[in-house]
Structure 1
Amino acid sequence: MKSTTFTNQQFRRNLCAAAVASALLGIAMPAVAQDTDEEEQATRLERIEVTARRTTENLQEVPVAVTSVSGAEILERGISNILEIAQFSPNTTLQTSRATNSTITAFIRGVGQEDPLWGYEPGVGIYIDDIYVARPQGAVLDILNVERIEVLRGPQGTLYGKNTIGGAVKYVTRRMSGDREFSVSGTVGSYNQRDLKVTGEMPLIENTLYFGFGYANLQRDGYGSFLTSDLPNQDRENYNKDVQAMRATLEWYPSDTTFVRLAWDKTDDESNSKGGYRLLPSLLTDAPVPDSFYDSYTSLPTENKVETEGLSLLIEQEINEEWQFRSITANRENYSPVNIDFDNTSLRIFDVPAIYDDKWFTQEFQLNYSSDNLSFVSGLYYYDADSCGTFDAILEVLGQAAFGTPGLTREVSGCSNSKSQAIYGQGSYQLNDQWSFTAGLRYTRDEKEALVRNGLIFDTVYPESGWIPGYVRGPEVGTPVVLDDSQTWNKVTPRLGAEYRYSADTMFYASFGQGFKSGTFNPRAETAEPAANPEDVYSYEVGVKSDITDRLRVNATVFMLDHENRQYVSVIPDPNDATVLNQRLANVGESDATGLELEFTWIATNDLTIYGNVGLIDASFNNVLSFDAQGNQIDITDQFVITNTPDTTANIGFSYDLRVANGDLVINGNYSYRSSYGLTELNNLLTQDAYGVLNLGVNWYSGSGKWRVGVHGKNLTNEKFLVGNYAFLTPDANNPGEFLPGLGGDTTLIGYYGDPRTVSLTVGYRF
Structure 2
Amino acid sequence: MKRAIKFHPLAAGIMLACGASFTYADPALEEVTVTAQKREQSLQEVPVAVTAIGEAALIENGIADMTDIQKLSPNTTLQVSRGTNSTLTAFIRGIGQQDPLWGFEPGVGIYVDDVYVARPQGAVMDVYDVERIEVLRGPQGTLYGKNTIGGAVKYVTKKMTGDNEVRIGAALGSYNQRDLKVAGSMAVSEKVNIGGAIASFQRDGFGENMVNGEDQYNKDTLSGRVSVEINATEDLFIRFAADKTRDESAPKHGHRFGPGYAGEPVLDSIYDTESNLPSENLVETSGMSLTAEWKVSDSVIVKSITASREGYTETVIDFDATNAPLFDVPAFYDDEQFSQEFQLNWQGDNADLVSGVYYYDGTAAGGFDAVLGYLDFSALGLPAGFTQNVSGQVDTNSLSFYAHYNWQFADQWNLNLGGRYTNDEKKAEVYKGNYFGIGSDMFHDQYYADRPAPVFGGALTDYANEKDWGEFSPRVGLDYQVNNDVMLYAAYSAGFKSGGFDMRGDAVEIPETVDGYDPETVDTFELGWKLDLLGNRMRINGALFRSEYTDMQVNQQRLKASGAGFVSAVLNAGESLIQGLELEASLALTDNLSAMATLGLVDAEFVEFINGDGTDIADQLEMQNTPDTTAMVQLNWSTPVAGGELVVVPSASYRADTQIFERPGILDQDAYTLVDLTATYYSPDGSWNLGLQGKNLTDKEYRIAGYDFGAPFQTGFYGNPRTIALTGSYNF
Q: TM-score, normalised by structure 2?
A: 0.93
Structure 1 residue 372: deviation in Å?
2.2
User: Could you say what the CA RMSD is over the residues aligned between the two structures, in angstroms?
Assistant: 1.9
2:310 partner amino acid: E
Structure 1 residue 475: deviation in Å?
12
Q: Cα distance 1:474–1:222, how it changes in 2: closer, same or farther (>3 A)?
A: farther
Query: In structure 2, how many angstroms separate the alpha carbons of the residues matched to 1:203 and 1:495?
Result: 43
Q: Cα distance 1:366–1:476, how it changes in 2: closer, same or farther (>3 A)?
A: farther
Matches within 5 A, 1:522-561: 522-527=502-507, 529=513, 530-549=515-534, 550-561=536-547
Query: In structure 1, how many angstroms separate the alpha carbons of the residues matched to 2:226 and 2:556?
Result: 45
Matches within 5 A, 1:42-441: 42-205=26-189, 207-229=190-212, 236-285=214-263, 287-399=264-376, 405-441=383-419
Write the deviation string for residues 463-519 of structure 1: whole angstroms up to 9, x where unpaired.
Answer: 344334335898999956522100010001100000011111101100000000001
1:460 has 2:438 as partner? yes
1:370 partner amino acid: Q
- The answer to which of 469-478 and 76-85 deviates more is 469-478
Structure 1 residue 579: deviation in Å?
2.4
Query: In structure 2, how many angstroms separate the alpha carbons of the residues matched to 1:106 and 1:570?
Result: 19
Counterpart contact for 1:411–1:474, Cα < 8 Å: no
Q: Unaligned regions of 5+ residues in structure 1, if any?
A: 1-38, 230-234, 730-740, 742-746
1:751 partner amino acid: G
Counterpart contact for 1:482–1:525, Cα < 8 Å: no
Counterpart contact for 1:482–1:526, Cα < 8 Å: no
Identity of aligned residues (%): 44
Structure 1 residue 548: deviation in Å?
1.3
Match in the other structure for 1:497: 477
Structure 1 residue 422: deviation in Å?
0.2
1:672 partner amino acid: S
Match in the other structure for 1:761: 726
Q: Cα distance 1:683–1:705, how it changes in 2: closer, same or farther (>3 A)?
A: closer
2:725 partner amino acid: S
Query: In structure 1, how many angstroms separate the alpha carbons of the residues matched to 2:322 and 2:377?
Result: 17
Q: Cα distance 1:298–1:574, how it changes in 2: closer, same or farther (>3 A)?
A: closer
Query: In structure 2, how many angstroms separate the alpha carbons of the residues matched to 1:148 and 1:338?
Result: 31
Query: In structure 1, how many angstroms separate the alpha carbons of the residues matched to 2:227 and 2:404?
Result: 31
Counterpart contact for 1:301–1:468, Cα < 8 Å: no
2:395 partner amino acid: N
Query: In structure 1, how many angstroms separate the alpha carbons of the residues matched to 2:290 and 2:502?
Result: 34
- The answer to which of 678-687 and 245-254 deviates more is 678-687
Counterpart contact for 2:436–2:456, Cα < 8 Å: no
Query: In structure 1, how many angstroms separate the alpha carbons of the residues matched to 2:386 and 2:448?
Result: 16
Counterpart contact for 1:158–1:442, Cα < 8 Å: yes
Q: Cα distance 1:580–1:754, how it changes in 2: closer, same or farther (>3 A)?
A: closer
Query: In structure 1, how many angstroms separate the alpha carbons of the residues matched to 2:117 and 2:453?
Result: 30
Q: Cα distance 1:211–1:477, how it changes in 2: closer, same or farther (>3 A)?
A: farther
1:553 partner amino acid: R
Q: Unaligned regions of 5+ residues in structure 2, if any?
A: 1-22
Q: 1:750 aligns with which of 711, 715, 721?
A: 715
Query: In structure 2, how many angstroms separate the alpha carbons of the residues matched to 1:101 and 1:203?
Result: 37
Counterpart contact for 2:436–2:454, Cα < 8 Å: no
Q: 1:583 aligns with which of 568, 575, 582?
A: 568
2:281 is paired with a residue whose SS is coil
Query: In structure 2, how many angstroms separate the alpha carbons of the residues matched to 1:459 and 1:89?
Result: 48
Structure 1 residue 136: deviation in Å?
0.5
Structure 1 residue 47: deviation in Å?
1.1
Counterpart contact for 2:337–2:362, Cα < 8 Å: yes
Match in the other structure for 1:451: 429
Q: Cα distance 1:412–1:41, how it changes in 2: closer, same or farther (>3 A)?
A: same
Q: Cα distance 1:533–1:488, how it changes in 2: closer, same or farther (>3 A)?
A: same
Match in the other structure for 2:700: 719
1:510 has 2:493 as partner? no
Match in the other structure for 1:737: none
2:577 partner amino acid: D
Match in the other structure for 1:8: none
Counterpart contact for 2:260–2:321, Cα < 8 Å: no
Query: In structure 2, how many angstroms separate the alpha carbons of the residues matched to 1:77 and 1:625?
Result: 43
Query: In structure 1, how many angstroms separate the alpha carbons of the residues matched to 2:425 and 2:200?
Result: 40
1:461 is paired with a residue whose SS is coil
Structure 1 residue 460: deviation in Å?
1.2
1:709 has 2:694 as partner? no
Query: In structure 1, how many angstroms separate the alpha carbons of the residues matched to 2:247 and 2:624?
Result: 27
Counterpart contact for 1:395–1:409, Cα < 8 Å: yes
Q: Cα distance 1:680–1:383, how it changes in 2: closer, same or farther (>3 A)?
A: same
Query: In structure 2, how many angstroms separate the alpha carbons of the residues matched to 1:164 and 1:657?
Result: 38
Match in the other structure for 1:603: 588
Query: In structure 1, how many angstroms separate the alpha carbons of the residues matched to 2:612 and 2:65?
Result: 42
Write the deviation string for residues 653-682 of structure 1: whole angstroms up to 9, x where unpaired.
Answer: 111111012421111121100011101124
Structure 1 residue 244: deviation in Å?
0.3
Query: In structure 2, how many angstroms separate the alpha carbons of the residues matched to 1:476 and 1:310?
Result: 39
Q: Cα distance 1:639–1:460, how it changes in 2: closer, same or farther (>3 A)?
A: farther
Q: TM-score, normalised by structure 1?
A: 0.89
Q: Cα distance 1:601–1:474, how it changes in 2: closer, same or farther (>3 A)?
A: farther
Query: In structure 2, how many angstroms separate the alpha carbons of the residues matched to 1:678 and 1:402?
Result: 42
Q: 1:634 aligns with which of 591, 606, 615?
A: 615
Counterpart contact for 1:641–1:684, Cα < 8 Å: no
Query: In structure 2, how many angstroms separate the alpha carbons of the residues matched to 1:449 and 1:252?
Result: 39
Counterpart contact for 1:572–1:584, Cα < 8 Å: no
Structure 1 residue 264: deviation in Å?
0.4
Q: Cα distance 1:583–1:480, how it changes in 2: closer, same or farther (>3 A)?
A: closer
Structure 1 residue 588: deviation in Å?
0.7
Write the deviation string for residues 526-584 of structure 1: whole angstroms up to 9, x where unpaired.
Answer: 21521111000000000110101220000010000011001113458877x55253422
Write the deviation string for residues 183-207 of structure 1: whole angstroms up to 9, x where unpaired.
Answer: 21211000000000101000111x2
2:232 is paired with a residue whose SS is strand
Query: In structure 1, how many angstroms separate the alpha carbons of the residues matched to 2:456 and 2:565?
Result: 22
Counterpart contact for 2:542–2:582, Cα < 8 Å: yes
Query: In structure 1, how many angstroms separate the alpha carbons of the residues matched to 2:455 and 2:32?
Result: 53
Q: What is the total number of aligned residue pairs between the two structures?
A: 701
Q: Cα distance 1:707–1:572, how it changes in 2: closer, same or farther (>3 A)?
A: closer
1:366 partner amino acid: Q
Query: In structure 2, how many angstroms separate the alpha carbons of the residues matched to 1:523 and 1:370?
Result: 46
Write the deviation string for residues 710-748 of structure 1: whole angstroms up to 9, x where unpaired.
Answer: 00000000111000011111xxxxxxxxxxx5xxxxx22
Q: Cα distance 1:471–1:125, how it changes in 2: closer, same or farther (>3 A)?
A: farther
Counterpart contact for 2:586–2:596, Cα < 8 Å: yes
2:699 partner amino acid: N
Query: In structure 2, how many angstroms separate the alpha carbons of the residues matched to 1:639 and 1:343?
Result: 27
Query: In structure 1, how many angstroms separate the alpha carbons of the residues matched to 2:574 and 2:252?
Result: 31
Query: In structure 2, how many angstroms separate the alpha carbons of the residues matched to 1:507 and 1:644?
Result: 32
Write the deviation string for residues 24-53 of structure 1: whole angstroms up to 9, x where unpaired.
Answer: xxxxxxxxxxxxxxx996231211110111
